């Protein structure tokens, strides 16, 4: 900057009078070799070229760090949710999880980049400020004291912005959950024909979010104007100096110019630092949902049972939701050819008991034991069985029927069709266009009976030994209900079967347990 001023003032005298410390001044004088303008321009071009390369490199590295961090955070959160302990995950809101895994994770990656950027700007400002102090401690100190009230103001704004940011992150996730609820229940919204209510419920966070965004924008406006405010206060202070001490007490103008140039450079770096710290406070609200997501407990680590499971025993098991005891000292057995039917009123713990038998929950007392074909007993605290769940609302993922059935497993075409024949689903799959037919709207275009038979086929292709059916006959007409029950009876010859049902069921060899 000093050389640039020297070019436009016609000489290198400013460099000699700049007050720069000797370790910076001597190399410059040696490079300039007198007052020749061509040499001055040559040195200036080299220095600006180096500065440009460094700046481009820093911007590229910043983008590289941001992209890498964003990917790492989003992948980690996604895997945390997928592998999370179901006892913890059962009540999570899908919209919250999606918002955290997408928008909030991206914001946190920007937060971490801002932290790195802030360190760079802090170092740069320290170097420039140190040079200014070496050039003239008195002038630099006076200018620094003038800027002190501004620094206090900016710190206060950071605090306010951080508080607003945290609330904004909470409302963004709430908005994501609200609209996800409406999209998931869009059929119900259309049938209700009560659009005003659903619009209000889906958008009720928007006024608060808008207000917060405006307030955060006001904070950003002050923070973004820091360098201009700094120059304004410095000039104001210089004016007051002249007013009270007179023009005769002003230090050498060349020295003031040098300190001013260094001060402006330091101010530029401080402005970058303030902007980076401002981003830290503005983006900090997203840290909380991301940290909560990273704290999701993983499932209990257990070994796979390396033989087919032929039965399950539950011995005096207990399970509670917080302080509510749901399963109290329950003991039961289930094995092949003797399907277990769990019945009872809603809310009494049928699904909870099935989740315990499946190993999704760990009993607080008692033990779940899996019996292998060899007769060996495997504790559910150390081993897990291959369990397939078929619920009344089968969810088909975006993709082909083949992809939904195999879930990436290397299954031969003949094997897939054999399983579909086994569950009476082959004919309607052929009518739909075969295994490469795309699944749309999570399979809602299919009937309930068709989706449930595809659900059964999916768990059979997964290699499950234990099949749990949760209200699979609910809402079906008598023909579909009879067809599904017939499929389950045939499967009980080869698999351990547990059924949860409100409907009275009669299956060959069944045992019943009222929860």
CA separation for the pair 509, 486 (Å, rounded):
13
Looking from the CA of 401 toward its CB, the CA atoms found within 13 Å total 25
Residues 378/382/383/388 CA torsion (nearest 10 deg)? 120
CA separation for the pair 64, 75 (Å, rounded):
17
Q: How confident is the model at residue 235 (pLDDT cuts 50, 70, 90)?
A: confident
What integer pLDDT is reported at residue 375 of this predicted model? 94
What integer pLDDT is reported at residue 369 of this predicted model? 97
Q: Which tokens go with 459?
A: 């768990």
Neighbouring CB atoms inside 10 A of 312's CB total 26
Looking from the CA of 194 toward its CB, the CA atoms found within 13 Å total 9
- Please give the model's pTM, rounded to 2 decimal places: 0.71
Q: What number is the average pLDDT over the span 272-300? A: 84
Q: Which residue has the higher pLDDT, 38 or 334?
A: 334
DSSP class of residue 20 equals: -
What integer pLDDT is reported at residue 514 of this predicted model? 85
Percent of the chain, pLDDT > 90?
A: 25
What integer pLDDT is reported at residue 224 of this predicted model? 75
CA separation for the pair 346, 396 (Å, rounded):
26
Residues of the chain with CATH 1.20.1560.10: 2-294
Identify the bridge partners of residue 338 per DSSP, sorted by sequence position.
Answer: 335
CA separation for the pair 153, 150 (Å, rounded):
5
Distances (CA, A) of 475 to 239, 339, 446: 84, 21, 14
Q: Report the sign of the C-alpha dihedral through residues 303, 308, 314, 319, in that order.
A: positive
What integer pLDDT is reported at residue 12 of this predicted model? 57
Instruction: Provide the b/e sequence for 433-453 (b: ≥16 CB within 10 Å).
Output: eebeeebeeebeebebbbbbb
Distances (CA, A) of 22 to 28, 60, 130: 10, 34, 14
What integer pLDDT is reported at residue 161 of this predicted model? 85
Distances (CA, A) of 322 to 59, 348, 353: 50, 15, 16
Confirm if 496 and 466 have CB atoms less than 8 A apart. yes
Q: How confident is the model at residue 2 (pLDDT cuts 50, 70, 90)?
A: low
Q: What is the 3-state secondary structure (H, E, C) of 330-342?
A: EEEEEECCECEEE
Query: Which CATH architecture does the domain made up of 2-294 adopt?
Result: Up-down Bundle (1.20)
Strand 466-470 and strand 511-514: pairing? unpaired
What integer pLDDT is reported at residue 443 of this predicted model? 63
Q: Secondary structure of the chain: what % helix, strand, coil (to 5)?
A: 65, 15, 25
CB contact set of 496 (below 8 Å; sequence gap of 6+):
309, 310, 311, 312, 334, 335, 336, 465, 466, 467
What integer pLDDT is reported at residue 271 of this predicted model? 65
Residue reference for tokens 């009275």: 504
Q: How confident is the model at residue 341 (pLDDT cuts 50, 70, 90)?
A: very high
CA separation for the pair 506, 183 (Å, rounded):
38
Q: Report the sign of the C-alpha dihedral through residues 298, 302, 308, 313, in that order.
A: negative
What integer pLDDT is reported at residue 75 of this predicted model? 92
Mapped onto helix, strand or coil, the DSSP state of residue 407 is coil
> For 35-39, 56-60, 101-105, 375-379, which range has the lowest pLDDT when averaged over its residues?
35-39
What integer pLDDT is reported at residue 63 of this predicted model? 86
DSSP class of residue 84 equals: B
CA separation for the pair 149, 15 (Å, rounded):
32
Angle at the Cα of 281 from the Cα atoms of 275 and 285, rounded to 5 degrees: 140
Looking from the CA of 180 toward its CB, the CA atoms found within 13 Å total 14
CB contact set of 290 (below 8 Å; sequence gap of 6+):
73, 77, 100, 104, 105, 108
Strand 496-500 and strand 466-470: pairing? parallel
DSSP class of residue 17 equals: T
Considering only CA atoms, which of 473, 495, 475 is closest in space to residue 485? 473
Q: Which tokens go with 25?
A: 């001044």
What integer pLDDT is reported at residue 256 of this predicted model? 56
pLDDT of 321 over the 60 cut: yes
Mapped onto helix, strand or coil, the DSSP state of residue 514 is strand
Q: How confident is the model at residue 92 (pLDDT cuts 50, 70, 90)?
A: confident
Confirm if 481 and 471 have CB atoms less than 8 A apart. no
Q: Which residue has the higher pLDDT, 87 or 428?
A: 428
Looking at the domain 305-514, which fold is it? Answer: Rossmann fold (3.40.50)
Distances (CA, A) of 254 to 172, 243, 268, 320: 54, 21, 21, 79
User: In whole angstroms, what separates CA 460 from the centre of its chain?
Assistant: 33
Residues of the chain with CATH 3.40.50.300: 305-514
Alpha carbon distance, N-terminus to C-terminus of the chain? 82
Confirm if 110 and 66 have CB atoms less than 8 A apart. yes
What integer pLDDT is reported at residue 198 of this predicted model? 84
CA separation for the pair 437, 423 (Å, rounded):
19
What are the tens digits of pLDDT across the range 414-471?
999 999 998 889 999 999 899 998 876 556 678 878 888 898 899 889 889 999 998 8
Q: Which residue has the higher pLDDT, 267 or 226?
A: 226
Q: Which residue has the higher pLDDT, 381 or 259?
A: 381
């Amino acid at each position: 900057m000093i050389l640039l001023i020297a070019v436009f003032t016609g000489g290198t005298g400013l460099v000699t009078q700049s007050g720069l410390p000797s370790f910076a001044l001597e190399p410059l004088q040696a490079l300039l070799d007198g007052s020749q303008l061509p040499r001055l321009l040559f040195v200036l071009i080299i220095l600006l070229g180096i500065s440009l390369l460094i700046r481009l490199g820093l911007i590229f590295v910043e983008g590289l760090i941001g992209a890498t961090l964003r990917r790492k955070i989003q992948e980690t959160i996604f895997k945390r949710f997928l592998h999370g302990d179901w006892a913890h995950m059962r009540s999570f809101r899908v919209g919250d999880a999606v918002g955290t895994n997408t928008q909030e994770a991206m914001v946190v990656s920007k937060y971490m980049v801002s932290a790195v950027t802030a360190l760079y700007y802090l170092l740069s400002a320290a170097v420039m400020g140190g040079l200014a102090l070496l050039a003239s401690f008195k002038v630099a100190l006076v200018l620094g004291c003038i800027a002190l009230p501004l620094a206090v103001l900016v710190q206060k704004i950071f605090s306010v912005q951080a508080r607003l940011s945290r609330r904004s992150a909470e409302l963004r996730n709430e908005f994501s959950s609200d609209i996800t609820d409406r999209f998931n229940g869009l059929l119900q919204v259309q049938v209700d024909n009560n659009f005003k209510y659903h619009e209000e419920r889906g958008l009720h966070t928007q006024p608060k979010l808008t207000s917060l965004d405006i307030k955060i924008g006001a904070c950003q406006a002050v923070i973004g104007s820091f360098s201009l405010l700094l120059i304004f206060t410095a000039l104001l202070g210089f004016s007051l100096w002249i007013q009270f001490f007179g023009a005769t007490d002003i230090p050498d103008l060349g020295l003031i110019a040098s300190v001013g140039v260094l001060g402006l450079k330091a101010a530029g770096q401080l402005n970058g630092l303030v902007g980076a710290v401002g981003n830290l406070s503005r983006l900090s609200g997203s840290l909380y949902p991301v940290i909560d997501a990273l704290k999701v407990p993983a499932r209990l680590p257990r070994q796979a049972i390396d033989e087919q499971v032929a039965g399950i025993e539950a011995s005096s098991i207990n399970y509670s939701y917080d302080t509510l005891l749901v399963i109290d000292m329950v003991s039961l057995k289930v094995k092949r050819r003797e399907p277990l039917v769990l019945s009872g009123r809603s809310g009494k713990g049928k699904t909870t008991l099935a989740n315990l038998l499946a190993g999704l929950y760990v009993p607080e007392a008692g033990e779940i034991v899996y019996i292998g074909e060899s007769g060996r007993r495997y504790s559910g605290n150390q081993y897990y069985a291959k369990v397939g769940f078929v619920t009344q609302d089968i969810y088909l993922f975006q993709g082909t029927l083949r992809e939904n059935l195999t879930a990436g497993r290397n299954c031969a075409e003949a094997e897939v069709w054999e399983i579909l024949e086994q569950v009476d689903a082959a004919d309607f799959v052929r009518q739909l266009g075969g295994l490469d037919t795309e699944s749309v709207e999570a399979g809602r275009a299919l009937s309930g009976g068709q989706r449930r038979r595809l659900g059964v086929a999916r768990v059979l292709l997964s290699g499950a030994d234990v099949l749990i059916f949760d209200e699979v006959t609910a809402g079906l007409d008598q023909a579909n209900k009879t067809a599904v029950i017939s499929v389950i009876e045939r499967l009980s010859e080869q698999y351990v079967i547990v059924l949860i049902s409100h409907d009275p069921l009669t299956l060959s060899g069944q045992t019943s347990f009222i929860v």
